[in-house]
Every structure is written in structure tokens, then in C-alpha cells.
Chains A and B, each alone.
Chain A
Amino acid sequence: MADDYIKVPRFMGGPAGWISILFPAALFIYFAGLLPQIAQTPVMRGIDWVPSLGIRLSVILDGLSMTFALLITGIGTAVTLYSSRYLGDHPHYPRFVSYLLIFMVGMLGLVLADNLISVFVFWEVTTISSYLLIGFNADKAASRRSALQALLVTGAGGLILLAGIIVLGNIAGSYELSEILPQGDMIRAHPWYLAILLMFLAGAFTKSAQVPFHFWLPNAMAAPTPVSAYLHSATMVKAGVFLMARMNPALGGTDVWFWVLTIFGGVTAVFASVMALRQTDIKQVLAYTTLMALGTLTMFIGAGTHYAISAAMLFLVVHSLYKAALFLMIGIVDHSTGTRDATVLRGLGRAMPLTALAAALAALSMAGIPPLVGFVGKEYMYKASLGLDQGMIWVTAMTFAASALMFVAGGIVALKPFRGQLAETPHKAHEGPWQMLAGPLVLGALSLTFGLMPDLLGEYIVGPGARAVYGPHEDLHLHLWGGLNAALYLSLATFAAGLLLYLVHTRIRSALTRIENRNPIDFDAGWDRLLDGFKAFAAWQTGLIQTGSLQRYMAVIFGAFIVMVGGTYLVKGAFSGLPGLSQAEAHPVQWTVLALIAVGSILVVWTHSRMTAVAGMGVVGIGVSLIFIIFSAPDVAITQLLVEVLVVVLVSLVMLRLPYLPRRSSKNFRTGHAIIAGGVGVVTTFLMISVLGSDFDPRLTEFFEKASYPDAHGRNIVNVILVDFRALDTFGEITVVTMAAIAAYALLRGVKKAVPDDEREA
């Protein structure tokens, strides 16, 4: 980002910079030291993490995870060194390197973990750190949008992946990869295989940005350039590819696997290469070429032969080397000239010779020109695709198209900006500082070294990697010159096609722009519509449920009571089998009291006078206390009477200051409310009838009767229960009443101040 341009950097970015550079460098040396050993036999270690759930913090270091670990730490070192200068005096630089280190640890954990649950946890760590890094320039709305988009797309895929992991773990009886992978035959034959496969692929395809989930990756270029180089081309976006490679022994080799991966991968590769030509921002060109690489890797892992897997492992390394270098290079150019526009940049070669050298090495590798390692990678992809069954010739065709377009992209990115007459740019072009040049130059040099000595790569990286993914097999012999064969002719044809396309690429670009403007399918806009749809749905359902209307809430509560209790009665057929009640005659006093209660409560509903309503409530309260007296509860009756008097007094007091009730009219009667009210009443009555008709369990009552005097020395059993057996409850009750009193006091105390002057006069 041009506006992150550094004027007076601290040396290596201060302590934060030192730590962030030394950490990956030390790990890189450690992993590199293990290389000869791992090339022979994988190493596994582990400790229990959550033993009750079968989650172990176990590590598997084989050819595949070793390749990734070296890429993560090696490119990590280059990127952190680069960042120490690129963002070294940014006020949030320490925060930036913290995110970067969190990501590094997460990514290492993801590739090294042997337990699928840990894999998932680390997977999400990389998702979250990617979110934080894309949104690092949080003051820009575009950054925030891109960050959220990446988080939601990859996060959703991650959740589906978790479901797949759990199903797979249940079938295999373990979450340890080392125990799952050998059961491949059983898993592939299992009825749940297809579901598991699709769930794993949902995670892998979102993370590795396969069409149609690709749109977040070009947007993720809102991140500072070192982040794009590291997360969004060399490492994190390859996590999906890693997952597919890792699961190949368990899930791979079926027809579904082959077709889904090759089709999605192939379409992504060709679509992305074409889109790359459409871009004018060089960083966007690189983003689309990254998509192409991810598609190609997916396609070759899907193809599944030993040759194809080896080609994928080789291309994985090849791509990381050149693509990280190119991203870092374009960061230097951007930093130096203030622009990344391919239509503007010209003739930088003189002013920035070292940058041009790094760009040339990387771009030659991307274009697949000998003697760079990119040529070797391309040759082996051609050989692998030609080795597939007849009728799979379209894999070769896809590879051919993508490679030719890569050739063009290489020219756009690294040839055109450096050739010819120096063009006018916002800043005057000058060479970058050594911290920023070191990474791209070393990576470029590695592309050249491995191109000249491909066996080095073959013996230590590609061979062990392919063995980890495919299983035991005789290693490929990698060489730069494979003799005159079909792959070589294809390479020559690629160069010819690429050269031709490069010459007319500006015309292709304008043609693509015209097509794109007319194309109704826009994934990015579709994403916005999807999010807007979600928000509208959330607003709609919140409005539906959370209306803020007390009436509506009460109706829902009472309605639920009717449906659930009444519904249970209906389902269990309890209405028909209500138990018979005792036929004891009701004494005239008793039914008179009951009638009083009923009339009183109906009066409260019926009246529009507040005084009558209070009187009705009083009748009900006194009626209830009479019931208590009749049925042998003198203490309760006394309390009820006292409370009832207090209630009437309080309500009357408050009512003096409240408005009158609205006049009763036919409009006030609400049929819906009456139906709900009647329903609750009927259900309650049936509930009471069945309670009273069922057998009574007297054990608790008998205990209190027997223990009351001997244990608590009280002759009034009710009192003994309250103050002795359930004394803590009574204490709680006193607390509640006290709190209610304090709260009421607090509410009423300030009331005068709250009344506006004009209202008080009125």
C-alpha cells in the first residue's frame, strides 16, 4: 500500500520486528535440519489435550507437512523481514506482526496436527488471523468489507468441515489422522462417504477459493502486500489443497472425488487465468494467477495418479516460490513509484535493477521457461495429464490453456513494467531497501537453483510429499531435460500460444472488460445481495418476534401454554379419561364463596370503573381467604386477608394519580384475547381436575407431621415448616420483599423531579 510508505524506519522494526523475524527463521532451520530424516520415515509425537473427547495435541511430520512447514517458516522469514521495512514505522506495526505470528502458529499447527479436531481449531485460527490482517487498514471501508467477506466465506466452509470431521470421526472411531487414513477402504464404502466428502470439500474449496467461492480472494488484496504474499498466495489459501492432499488416502480415489476435483479445479484454473488478463492492477493480476494455481493443484490432486500427485507437490513448491517473490516485488514497485497500474508502469529496469532481476526470475518461473523450476513443474503436469486415461485429454487442455495464460500474465507482471522508456509515476522510481529485496531475490534464486538441480527438490520434498499423499511408490526422477517427448512439444506450443496472446493482450483486456460489463453474473455483487438478504430476513424475523408489544408477548406465552399443556392432554388422550372426583356434596357456604370469587373476577373484567374493579379484586381476595378458613388453613387466611387489605389500599392510592380506564364499548372487547383467556382457563380447570383425581403422595406431609414436635418443638406445623425446616426459604422471601420495597422507594423518590413543570400544573 502506497500510503504505508516508510520514511524513517527503525532498524528491523524494533523488538517486535526482531522477534517476528527470528521466530520463523529459527523454526525454518529446525525443520530443515529434520529434512533428511523425514525424507526416510515420518515422525509422530503427541500429548493428550482433551482426553474425554479423544482430542490429542499430536504431531505428524511427514513429507507433506514438512513441505508446508518449510514454506510457512521460510517464506514467513522473508515476509517478516520485508514487513520490518514496509510497515516498520506504522503505528500499529507491533500489532501487525502479532497477527502475522498468530497466523504462522495457526498454519503450522494446521499442517502438523495429527488430530482432526486440532486441525479444525488451527484452521479457524488461520481464518481469524486472515480476517485481522485483511482488515489491517481498518479505517478503509473496503478493507473491512473484504475482511468480513473472507471471514464469512471461509468461516462458513470451516463449520461445514467441522461437521464432516465429526461424522468421519464417528465412523472411523478416532479423530487421529494416523488411525483414520489406513481405514480408507472402509470409509469409501460407507454410506456416509459422499456426505463426508462433500463436507470436507466445502471446507477445502472455500479456503482455497475454488469457483464459485473464489471471489473473496481478489478482494483480500486489500491487505498490506506482505500479507497477500504470505497468506493469500503462499500458505493459507493452500490449506484447502493441503486438506485434500492429506485426506487423499481416506477419501480419494473414487469417481466422485475425481470428477468433482478435476472439474472444479480445471474451471477455476482456466477462469482465473482469463480473469487475470482482464486486470490492470498488477496485484489483482497476481491474485487471479494465484486462483489459477489453486485450481491446478486441486485438479491434479483429483486426478490422483502417483504422477499427478507428484506434479501437484512439485507445482505447490514452484508456485509458492515464484508467487511470493512476485507479490513482494510488486510491493517494492508500489512502495517506490506509488502505483501498481500495469497500463502506467514502464521502464523501471534502470532505476530498480535488483527488483527487475527478482521479478524476472520469478516471472520466468511462472511462465514456465527453462532453466527455471517452473519449467520442470509444467513439464511434469503435462506428463501427468497425458498419463491419465484416454478421454481425460481435457485435463491436458485445461493445463495447456492455464499455462499459456500464465505465460502472458508473467509478461504483464514482470516484463512490461521494467522495459522501455521510463514512464511518469506518482513517486520517482528508486531501488528498494535490502530488507525488502532480500526475500524476492532469495526466492528467485531458489527457483533457479531448483530448476538447475531438480533432483534436490525431488529427493527431499516432492518424493516424500507424494509418498505421504499417495502411499508407498517409487519416487519420480525429476530432471530439467527429459528428452524429446510429448510434454516438451506441449511446452513449446505453450510458449508459442503465450507469446501470441501476450502481443495482443491489451486488446484481449479491453474485450474482456466489455464482456464483463455486459455479464449479468457478478459473484461479488451476488455476495452483497446475499448479505442484504440475510439482514432483511433478520430484521423481518426480529420484527415478527420482538415487536416490543407487551400484548403480543403475553399472547405468545399464554398461547404456548394452551398448545403445550392442552396439546399434551389431546395427544395422550387424557381428556376422555379424566379421573372421577370425590362426590362429596358442596356445602351451601362453600359454593356461595366460590360463586363470590367467580363473580368478583368477572366484575373486574367487565367494569370500566376503577373503583368497581378494586372492589371486585377485594371480593376475590376475601373469597380466597374464606376458602382458606373453610379448609383448615387459619394462618394462610389471616395473611391473605391482611395482604388483600394492603393491596386494595395501595392500588387505590396509586390510582388516584393515574388516568381513568377507557370507557367500556363494543370496540374494547377482543375476541382473540377472549379465546386465549378462555383456553387458558379451560386447560387450567382440566389440569386441576386431573391433579385432584390422581393419587396423593403423602410422604413429605407425614414427615413434617411426625418431625414437627420432636425435632422442632412446635405445635403449629405450618409455622414450624416456615421458620425451621424451610427457614432459608423464608429468609429469601424476606430478602425479596425488602428488595421490592427498596426498589419501589427508589422509583418513587425522584418522581417529582421527573415531572415536567407544565404537566405538574395540569
Chain B
Amino acid sequence: MELLLAITIGIVVATSVYLMLDRNVLRFLFGLVLLSNAVNLVIFAAGRLTAGAPPLIADGAYAPDGQIANALPQALVLTAIVIGFGLLAFTLALVYRTYKSLGTVNSDEMRLAEPEDTHK
């Protein structure tokens, strides 16, 4: 299972990197969404995988009984999901606003701050 998961993560990362290398900022954005999913999986899996034992403490007990899933990466991933969503929402607004102002979604054509001829 771990090997399969590692390979799947590799595939998702590869597709997201390919998308983020695109000139079209919309495709870049898709890459960003996929990459944050892949990274969440990496964090989650790094805490080891335990099936069917959520990190809960039974009524009346002071500590969990037996082997349970690792709670720490779950907490980290929860935070990461929410932050990733904030980032995505902001980036979406930025892309939209950029398109409305500059009339393009091509990152190479967004040269308001650095016009092309300054590099010559």
C-alpha cells in the first residue's frame, strides 16, 4: 500500500508541476490545487498509515486503548487544507482581477511592472 501511495503522490506532483510550468495562469492555478492535495497526502502519510482506528479516547478512559492512528499529522493537514484554501481563493481573485485589468491570462504578457524593452 505504501509503495502504491508513494507512486500516486509522485504522479499527482508530476502533473501539478507540469501544469505550474504553463504560461496560462488558469492552468497554473489547477497545478496549485493539485500540488496542495499532494502535499497534504505527503504530510498525512509521513505519520504512518493506520486503517480503522481514529484517534479518539473512549468514554471513561484517560488514554486511547490499543493502537490508534497518529493524531499529529491529521491536525497539521487540517491546518494545511484551510490555509491552502485561503491561498487558492486569493489567487483566484488575483487571476480574475488581473484578467479584467490587463486582458490576458498569459503570465508572459503581464508586464505592467517590467515592460519587455527594459531587458534589452
**Cα-based distance from A372 to B45 in the complex (angstroms):** 92
Residue A733 at the chain B interface, CB threshold 8 Å: yes
Determine if B71 and A640 form an interchain contact, defined as CB atoms under 8 angstroms apart: no
Taking CB atoms and an 8 Å cut-off, the chain A residues in 584-602 that contact chain B are 584-587, 590-591, 594, 597-598, 601-602
Determine if A733 and B82 form an interchain contact, defined as CB atoms under 8 angstroms apart: yes
> B-contacting residues of A (Cβ < 8 Å)?
539, 542-543, 547-551, 554-555, 558, 581-582, 584-587, 590-591, 594, 597-598, 601-602, 604-605, 610, 613, 617, 620-621, 624, 627-628, 630-636, 639-640, 643, 646-647, 650-651, 654-655, 657-659, 661-662, 670, 673-674, 676-678, 680-682, 684-685, 688-689, 691-693, 696, 698, 700-701, 704-706, 708-710, 715-718, 721-722, 726, 729-730, 733, 736-737, 739-741, 743-745, 747-748, 751, 754-755, 759
Taking CB atoms and an 8 Å cut-off, the chain B residues in 75-95 that contact chain A are 75, 77-79, 81-90, 92-95
Task: Collect the chain B residues with CB atoms within 8 Å of residue A759's CB.
Answer: 103
State which of B62, B92, B97, B101 has its C-beta within 8 Å of the C-beta of A651: B92
List 21 interface pairs A-B (beta carbons < 8 Å), by A numbering.
Answer: A549-B108, A598-B12, A601-B11, A601-B16, A604-B34, A627-B41, A632-B50, A632-B68, A632-B69, A643-B81, A643-B84, A657-B99, A662-B24, A677-B21, A685-B9, A691-B46, A704-B72, A705-B68, A722-B79, A737-B86, A745-B93
**Cα-based distance from A207 to B103 in the complex (angstroms):** 57
State which of A547, A657, A659, A716 has its C-beta within 8 Å of the C-beta of B119: A547
Interface size class of B (residues with CB under 8 A): 35 or more
**Cα-based distance from A633 to B40 in the complex (angstroms):** 13
Determine if A747 and B97 form an interchain contact, defined as CB atoms under 8 angstroms apart: yes
State which of A555, A610, A681, A726 has its C-beta within 8 Å of the C-beta of B10: A681
Task: Collect the chain B residues with CB atoms within 8 Å of residue A700's CB.
Answer: 72
Task: Collect the chain A residues with CB atoms within 8 Å of residue B51's CB.
Answer: 630-632
In angstroms, how far is the closest chain B Cβ from the Cβ of A605? Answer: 5
| Contact digits for B5-34, partner A, Cβ 8 Å, 1 yes 0 no | 111111111111111111111111110011
**Cα-based distance from A584 to B5 in the complex (angstroms):** 13
Determine if A721 and B57 form an interchain contact, defined as CB atoms under 8 angstroms apart: no
Task: Collect the chain A residues with CB atoms within 8 Å of residue B82's CB.
Answer: 639, 643, 733, 737
- With A620-B37, A747-B93, A748-B97 as given contacts, are A678 and B86 in contact (CB-CB < 8 Å)? no
**Cα-based distance from A658 to B18 in the complex (angstroms):** 21
Instruction: From A620, A631, A682, name the one whose CB has the most chain B CB atoms within 10 angstroms.
Output: A631
**Cα-based distance from A238 to B16 in the complex (angstroms):** 65
Determine if B85 and A643 form an interchain contact, defined as CB atoms under 8 angstroms apart: yes
**Cα-based distance from A613 to B26 in the complex (angstroms):** 10
Determine if B89 and A650 form an interchain contact, defined as CB atoms under 8 angstroms apart: yes
Task: Collect the chain B residues with CB atoms within 8 Å of residue A754's CB.
Answer: 97, 100-101
Instruction: From A591, A685, A688, name the one whose CB has the most chain B CB atoms within 10 angstroms.
Output: A688
Determine if B29 and A709 form an interchain contact, defined as CB atoms under 8 angstroms apart: no
B113 and chain A: residue at smallest CB distance: A548
Chain A interface helix/strand/loop/mixed: helix
**Cα-based distance from A543 to B116 in the complex (angstroms):** 10
Determine if B119 and A602 form an interchain contact, defined as CB atoms under 8 angstroms apart: no
In angstroms, how far is the closest chain A Cβ from the Cβ of B58? Answer: 8
Q: Name the 6 nearest CB pairs between A and B, nearest first.
A: A681-B14, A685-B10, A632-B69, A744-B93, A677-B18, A740-B86
Known: A550-B25, A630-B51. 15 other contacts (CB 8 A): A549-B107, A550-B107, A551-B21, A586-B4, A617-B34, A621-B33, A632-B54, A634-B54, A636-B44, A647-B85, A677-B17, A680-B17, A685-B10, A715-B56, A721-B72
Determine if A741 and B21 form an interchain contact, defined as CB atoms under 8 angstroms apart: no
- With A549-B108, A662-B24, A755-B100 as given contacts, are A677 and B15 in contact (CB-CB < 8 Å)? yes
**Cα-based distance from A691 to B77 in the complex (angstroms):** 17
Determine if B3 and A581 form an interchain contact, defined as CB atoms under 8 angstroms apart: yes
In angstroms, how far is the closest chain A Cβ from the Cβ of B19? Answer: 6
State which of A655, A681, A729, A739 has its C-beta within 8 Å of the C-beta of B11: A681
State which of B2, B57, B59 has its C-beta within 8 Å of the C-beta of A692: B2
Task: Collect the chain A residues with CB atoms within 8 Å of residue B56's CB.
Answer: 715-717
A633 and chain B: residue at smallest CB distance: B74
**Cα-based distance from A724 to B63 in the complex (angstroms):** 17
Task: Collect the chain B residues with CB atoms within 8 Å of residue A718's CB.
Answer: 55, 71, 74-75, 78
- With A550-B107, A594-B4, A635-B78 as given contacts, are A709 and B57 in contact (CB-CB < 8 Å)? yes
State which of B4, B13, B18 has its C-beta within 8 Å of the C-beta of A673: B18
**Cα-based distance from A601 to B85 in the complex (angstroms):** 18
Determine if A740 and B87 form an interchain contact, defined as CB atoms under 8 angstroms apart: yes
Determine if A624 and B41 form an interchain contact, defined as CB atoms under 8 angstroms apart: yes
**Cα-based distance from A566 to B90 in the complex (angstroms):** 33
**Cα-based distance from A657 to B17 in the complex (angstroms):** 25
In angstroms, how far is the closest chain B Cβ from the Cβ of A676? Answer: 6
**Cα-based distance from A640 to B29 in the complex (angstroms):** 18
**Cα-based distance from A102 to B33 in the complex (angstroms):** 59
B77 and chain A: residue at smallest CB distance: A636
